[in-house]
Amino acid sequence: MVDNGASYSISNDLKDFVAPPTKLGPKIQGFAGSSTASLIGTVEWHIQCDNGVVHTITLPNTSYVPQAELRMLSPQHWAQTTNDLRGTLCITYGDCFLLKWDNQKYQKTIPISPNKTKNVGIMMSAPGNHRHLNLCATFQNKLPTIAFNSTIDFDTTAATISSNSILDNCSTSTAKSTPIPTHPLTVHFCDKLD
């Protein structure tokens, strides 16, 4: 959710934080009935702009409020933490929010309607597997390498023609004796159905 009236950005998911939130943050009004104490830390969120490019935004001093229903992006909090005070902003129109950032180079249009979104700017995080890739990168940096990527290269001109059937070792009546190219590294599998 984008809330251009919110003072701080809020996450309800510890996985958004680059490190566990630790410092005691501000009291948040409106969650759990009145005010809720929060922890703060730095989050990374992924936003897909209107041109289809995925951008990673890093927001220090974001509040962790597990009882929040949604994550909440405060455009002014984002502008202040990136020192892009006139270049990161949110314009509210009657049918959408227009979120702009990085000195207004990028934008995301977030539709709103009284019926579908209750006039709240709700956007989805960017599609893809960024969290998975980040987790893999973390493990690669912290764990010793136990395997390496490899390929098996061989000269296909060294392949020979064999008169053996692919299915010679299979007990089936449909085996055909068809010459096939073979190579010392060729492996044939035979599925047997009983």
Pairing of strands 106-111, 39-48: unpaired
pLDDT of residue 82: 94
Q: Are residues 165 and 76 in the same domain?
A: no
Tell whether 37 is covered by a domain. Answer: yes
Tell whether 4 is covered by a domain. Answer: no
- HSE at residue 18, side-chain half, CA atoms within 13 A, is 13
Q: Are residues 101 and 176 in the same domain?
A: no
Q: Are residues 14 and 69 in the same domain?
A: yes
Nearest to 77 by CA among 64, 61, 65, 93: 61
Q: Are residues 99 and 185 in the same domain?
A: no
User: Could you give the CA distance from residue 58 to residue 78 in angstroms, rounded to a whole number?
Assistant: 8
Q: Are residues 164 and 100 in the same domain?
A: no
Tell whether 120 is covered by a domain. Answer: yes
pLDDT of residue 175: 47
Tell whether 144 is covered by a domain. Answer: no
Q: Are residues 31 and 75 in the same domain?
A: yes
Question: E-assigned strands of 49-138?
Answer: 54-64, 89-92, 96-101, 106-111
Tell whether 1 is covered by a domain. Answer: no
pLDDT of residue 24: 78
Question: E-assigned strands of the chain?
Answer: 10-11, 23-24, 28-31, 34-36, 39-48, 54-64, 89-92, 96-101, 106-111, 160-162, 180-182
Tell whether 139 is covered by a domain. Answer: no
Q: Chunked in runs of 10, what are the mean pLDDT values of the chain (194 residues)?
A: 86 93 74 66 93 93 88 93 94 91 94 75 65 57 54 52 49 49 53 53
* Whole-number Cα distances in Å, 146 to 82, 141, 150: 39, 12, 13
> How many independent structural domains does the chain possess?
2
Q: Are residues 101 and 67 in the same domain?
A: yes
The encoded tokens of residue 154 equal 């061989």
User: Could you give the CA distance from residue 92 to residue 88 in angstroms, rounded to a whole number?
Assistant: 14
Nearest to 84 by CA among 55, 110, 105: 105
User: Could you give the CA distance from residue 137 to residue 143 in angstroms, rounded to a whole number?
Assistant: 10
Tell whether 178 is covered by a domain. Answer: yes
Q: Are residues 14 and 93 in the same domain?
A: yes
The encoded tokens of residue 77 equal 């909090």
Q: Are residues 24 and 101 in the same domain?
A: yes
Tell whether 3 is covered by a domain. Answer: no
Q: Are residues 127 and 31 in the same domain?
A: yes
Q: Are residues 85 and 177 in the same domain?
A: no
pTM (two decimals): 0.60
* Domain span including residue 107: 10-131
Contacts of 124 (CB under 8 A, 6+ apart): none
Q: Are residues 120 and 161 in the same domain?
A: no
pLDDT of residue 169: 47
